[in-house]
Amino acid sequence: MRQLINTPDGQLKKLPLSDYIREEIAQARTMSKSALKRQVGFISKRMADEPVEQAIQQLGSLQQPAAQANAHFHQLEKWRDQLLAGDENVLEQLVQDYAADRQQLRQLVRNAQRELTRQQPPKAARAMFQYLRTLTERRVDADP
């Protein structure tokens, strides 16, 4: 039930729930502690007539792409951080698996490391992240 309360309105509208339940969920978002607990109990009782299993399955399928995008973003950040730390294995992996331009990647790493030592804004680190994102997107588009 709490998962439904924390679901954004846009996704909640896509679920097979009655308007009455949606209104009750919207009210629950404004409540705190004991009032919220009572509201959750109230909604749970009213959900007996709703297609709960179908709604939970659809909610999971709606949230899956966001979770995958988040995991991809974290992987790109991890590679960037490893490159900045001087990990040559990651560089070789990117060159082999994603056909990265070794010279361009090393230049981005050098510039980002220089910015770190000079305590400048991370312009090169952002550029490196964008380059990594472009590499992985290009590979995803090329896969059949």
Residue 143 pLDDT > 70: no
Residues 71 and 103 placed together within one structural domain of the fold: yes
Residue 47 pLDDT > 80: no
Residues 137 and 72 placed together within one structural domain of the fold: yes
Residues 131 and 74 placed together within one structural domain of the fold: yes
Residues 78 and 126 placed together within one structural domain of the fold: yes
Give dist(CA 11, CA 15) in Å, integer.
Answer: 7
pTM, entire model: 0.56
| Cβ-Cβ contacts under 8 Å for 50 (sequence gap 6 or more) | 16, 17, 18, 21
Residues 89 and 118 placed together within one structural domain of the fold: yes
Range of the domain at 95: 67-142
Up-side HSE of residue 144: CA atoms within 13 Å toward CB?
A: 0
Residues 41 and 107 placed together within one structural domain of the fold: no
Q: Per this entry, what is the length of the chain?
A: 144
Q: For 20-34, write each residue's pLDDT tens digit.
A: 888 888 888 888 888
Give dist(CA 81, CA 22) in Å, integer.
Answer: 43
Q: Report the domain count for the chain.
A: 2
Contact, 133 vs 76, CB < 8 A?
A: yes
